[in-house]
Structure 1
């Protein structure tokens, strides 16, 4: 996949250097390349090309979704009494791009925020959302899949409830985009954020899907790029690489899901055999041991709603395991000495000594939080590497 992405980008790094917003001949080559990439990104999520707006990454797209919703307050988004709608609902396990932006909006006095709890598997309850919705709710923002524990939310049900209350629904799909089936029309989402680097595209490129009926406004003031929605000269090589990555992701998605899911299950099984006290954080895949099932699972919600019917509701490439009594920090150092790279918490919070807010939200104690490791699997991960990882864990833990 990486080779195809680089091959698509190279001409726009070496030959086709025109500014796509200019009027000279060279500009048309770049403009056409962006138009094709827009079609490729739209095709991956069942959107229309004119609903795709390219950004510098998922963080910008998330911030734009939140602040853009508030900009609508100045126009049509008002309560029956004519009051501005400034209430936003999200969850406690969102990425920091959402949580920190919401905190800033509160500090600026622009919004009132409600953060919904999650159950022990990291799922937002539709009943909790229904109770939290108010006449002045303008936006609900719930991530499609969690970056730390892999839990996939029942988006379709959550979006339905949101629309019944007259609000917009946004999903941070950075972790799910190109990893599981996503169809914005079937899910009913109004706004969706994504990033190229999660599907082997270039870093520093992302997008925001905006349903065509929403009069969204630009958050960055300047030129007329992206149909007056996002000012700034387009990153042509990055956008072209993003489009190529979307094509590859769609073509390989079913096989990648099956393959990564099988390897994920193997790593979970081996880890629990090696260290019987180990506990999986997040949803347990079907057929991998016995475990408590959340109320949503028991009700069948996750088989009926969300990003298509899935064999299980954990991201195929995500493993997050607690090793009670151990130090994740020391385990990471010892694993790296064996050539194995894992993480504790989110990559975007690296360097922080604070416990993971996601693991705290699903009920882990501080000790168990600091004893948890995350392993990320990708298209190049092999069975041999999973066995090597398990063998290294066995040596280190014993």
Structure 2
């Protein structure tokens, strides 16, 4: 098998994050000690059970929810299924979502409509902001996206009545605990705080409207298994990421402003999505008219820099971004970068330089 070519961390602007250092350091140890069945009464099982309970308590506290409201599932897609399907159990109910929601939310809307339900797709303005229109006089389910993982646009939670069930997509949010006041279900993706893939965090409010959409088996709300070592690694990653987050975000905010200025000054006709003052500094999306995304990515990589293009959740890595299209941008020449603590002004200048060279080469 061919080895994966190393790219320096300061030159990697892809959305994927490496595993948080402390979680990575202890990962093998966790796999060595967390393969027991925590439901059994033996000593090793009891020790693992205690570790899992401690991990759940730690994770829940960082998410701003009670440990009794936290569910662990083995895959982010299944997490969306659990969190949202439990609010759409009535086939004739109304489902409200936005054009910039993840594709999985759009799929839920199509399915709900096909089953006889009513859907309302809310548009965004040129800055990516949703003006939620919620009829407080009738029951509905609302999908709320806290932060868009392509553009970084931050949404304000809409005011809703007790007739509205709220699903909160917190997968790429910061702070992680910034939930709408009246949330019913929620989801977080560990990969955005340096946690492992193959696990997802689902919140089900104790006082919420969520109902188990599947068959009732004892008191379980979700089904299937999850990796116990990865759960413990998630708790370690979240604990350590949170300690550094405030300082890191100060740095990333400065870098986001810097790269916006550099891109605008060096690349003709570039369109940068969102207002930097209302965006998560980690995420940046832009359009370069007249360029071919695949060719630009190849030329940029040849110079030792990695970026993303197209949609973050399309059928392919170079599919047009439905988010940028909803904001009024072209379907072509869509690019994304993710800023990380390893980046600095010098690496950002290099990024802009190789982009300029790639465009000049006829990409």
TM range (shorter): 0.7 to 0.9
**CA distance in 2: counterparts of 1:31 and 1:216, whole angstroms:** 27
> Is the CA contact (8 Å cut-off) linking 1:147 and 1:346 kept in structure 2?
no
Q: Displacement, 1:352?
A: 6.0
**Is 1:29 matched up with 2:35?**
no
Moved more, 236-245 or 6-15: 6-15
Q: 1:353 to 1:202 in 2, by over 3 A?
A: closer
> Is the CA contact (8 Å cut-off) linking 2:294 and 2:318 kept in structure 1?
no
Structure 1 gaps, min length 5: 74-83, 286-311
> Is the CA contact (8 Å cut-off) linking 1:20 and 1:30 kept in structure 2?
yes
Pick one of 349, 363, 372 that aligns with 2:334: 372
SS in 2 for 1:369: coil
Q: Displacement, 1:263?
A: 1.5
- Cα deviation per residue 1:305-354 (whole Å; 9 max; x = unaligned)? xxxxxxx3201111111112222222112111112111123343262664
Q: 1:246 to 1:352 in 2, by over 3 A?
A: closer
Pick one of 321, 329, 353 that aligns with 2:286: 321
Q: Displacement, 1:89?
A: 0.6
**Is 1:268 matched up with 2:260?**
yes
Q: 1:350 to 1:259 in 2, by over 3 A?
A: farther
Alignment of 1:208-287 (within 5 A): 208-214=202-208, 216-219=210-213, 228-282=220-274, 284-285=275-276
**CA distance in 1: counterparts of 2:183 and 2:209, whole angstroms:** 15
Scaled by the length of structure 1, the TM-score of the pair is: 0.79
Q: Displacement, 1:190?
A: 2.4
Aligned to 1:125: 131
In angstroms, what is the RMSD of aligned CA positions? Answer: 2.3
**CA distance in 1: counterparts of 2:193 and 2:58, whole angstroms:** 13
Q: 1:372 to 1:231 in 2, by over 3 A?
A: closer
Aligned to 1:183: 178
Moved more, 266-275 or 321-330: 321-330
**CA distance in 1: counterparts of 2:273 and 2:168, whole angstroms:** 22
Aligned to 1:330: 295
SS in 2 for 1:230: coil
Aligned to 1:166: 163
**Is 1:145 matched up with 2:141?**
no
**Is 1:111 matched up with 2:106?**
no
> Is the CA contact (8 Å cut-off) linking 1:17 and 1:26 kept in structure 2?
no
SS in 2 for 1:168: strand
> Is the CA contact (8 Å cut-off) linking 2:20 and 2:241 kept in structure 1?
no
Q: Displacement, 1:221?
A: 5.1
Scaled by the length of structure 2, the TM-score of the pair is: 0.86
**CA distance in 1: counterparts of 2:209 and 2:131, whole angstroms:** 30
Moved more, 139-148 or 16-25: 16-25
Q: Displacement, 1:357?
A: 1.2
**Is 1:344 matched up with 2:347?**
no
> Is the CA contact (8 Å cut-off) linking 1:87 and 1:111 kept in structure 2?
yes
**CA distance in 2: counterparts of 1:103 and 1:338, whole angstroms:** 42
Aligned to 1:19: 37
**Is 1:89 matched up with 2:83?**
no
Alignment of 1:49-64 (within 5 A): 49-64=67-82
Q: 1:99 to 1:219 in 2, by over 3 A?
A: same
Count of matched residue pairs:
342
Q: 1:218 to 1:8 in 2, by over 3 A?
A: farther
> Is the CA contact (8 Å cut-off) linking 1:19 and 1:233 kept in structure 2?
no
Structure 2 gaps, min length 5: 1-18
SS in 1 for 2:86: helix
Q: Displacement, 1:200?
A: 1.1
Aligned to 2:322: 357
**CA distance in 2: counterparts of 1:68 and 1:230, whole angstroms:** 10
- Cα deviation per residue 1:147-176 (whole Å; 9 max; x = unaligned)? 211111001xx1x3x2x1511111111111
Q: 1:240 to 1:352 in 2, by over 3 A?
A: closer
Q: Displacement, 1:213?
A: 1.3
> Is the CA contact (8 Å cut-off) linking 1:134 and 1:165 kept in structure 2?
no
Aligned to 2:56: 38
**CA distance in 2: counterparts of 1:210 and 1:98, whole angstroms:** 18
Compare relative contact order (CA 8 Å, sep 6+) and give the higher one, 1 or 2. 2
